[in-house]
Structure 1
């Protein structure tokens, strides 16, 4: 299978070493892309909850895959998060194409992108780390329970259900925390003249433009590979959120944006065998109609 060539991919909150990690799905995703840069935006390895008794082969394969991508020319930036904070002592370390850092600033087609994990905004981590760690264990248990519930639902032929999402969306405190997190990140980015601010940490994939009296910026969150299975992709000067459960291995531009692309750009972006031929035909025919 041919790989999709993209400028930049961002993943975060993989939590290797925990029961909730969807390592197999992440390997499938990484096998489907060929990015020039791969940003690992924190909590890739869950050192907080690391146990010698649980680190499956699939989790090791993810690490091997990432190292393999670096050895084949992909520029890999590992940005540390709170669950892998022990790696912060190695910040600014480089090993070939593999770099460890605490934050990253990139120039993307003349626009500045500010990338960091986001735990710096979390008061519980700054002031009561033991409470944050306890919450991490509780979240892992909730994911385990959810896995069993979804197994039962699958047997009954019903759709999957996310307990954690239900709790986040129904508890006012959680909603307020997420909104404050996003607004704080965006306001700081605008204050420092960044065009994009890219975070992880809160397991909430999002792409939204924020504005205040000083300007505007695009806030992006890569989500996670525990419950949402999402990533951020940048190509042709645009960002999109990749959803594994919805997109699978579909190409980068199977959406309305196809209609705005140059025909040569469209053909260049089509590298996946699973592309719907009817979709290609419709878009190309529409291009021809516009030209005539």
Structure 2
């Protein structure tokens, strides 16, 4: 015989009761915050587990960011090195342009002091054979260059034009062994001829007697004789005067003032407006129209 009331609530009744209890707890929690302390404690307890779970992803992100930063730094460093090279190249060019500008300004200032029209020409070729000191310049008959035309730089006489083509010309330096230039001592007007020696840094005078009034340090300028070089252009400075009682003439060495071995641009002295070459008859044979 079964005892009375031994059977409990049905499953459906239990489910409904649990649902109602859950709703009640959710409502109370929403309004009263009954479970906030519990959530805080659970959050504290689970934080290490959460950090451990996120650690691999964070390491991957950090490694990727580090690699990207390193690549960016390498690329930026390379760009800066390239830019530095460009700037260094530009700086070298600017230095060269500055030197060239100073040199041209000196040439132009020199031409202004000469009070004669001049033509600036650049060197194309240099031939400093011991027996022939020649320069080739980039101006020819098309620019008004003629045979015998005086050539100077900013410091002194260089030489004179020997051959002319349409677009270039050949200049024989005053240091050439076959060249002679009428000069005078600027201090007293004593006239003589300065001869080339085949050495780029030395001229010689062999036609003055031992008692001539010339001494070391004297400035030699063009005398104007011969009609090629106008008077007054600096040629050189007397280095030494050697006299021998047994010889009738002194041996005189002269330092050229023109930069014969270092010149890059030269000045060709033009004729004054309305005048032709000083020696037109001599200018014709060497000219050609190549």
Pairwise same-fold verdict (TM > 0.5): no
Q: Report the TM-score range of the alignment, normalised by the length of the smaller protein.
A: under 0.3
Which of the pair has more CA radius of gyration?
Answer: 2
Q: Which has the higher contact order (CA 8 A, sep 6+)?
A: 1
TM-score (norm 1): 0.21
- Per residue, is there more helix in 1 or in 2? 1
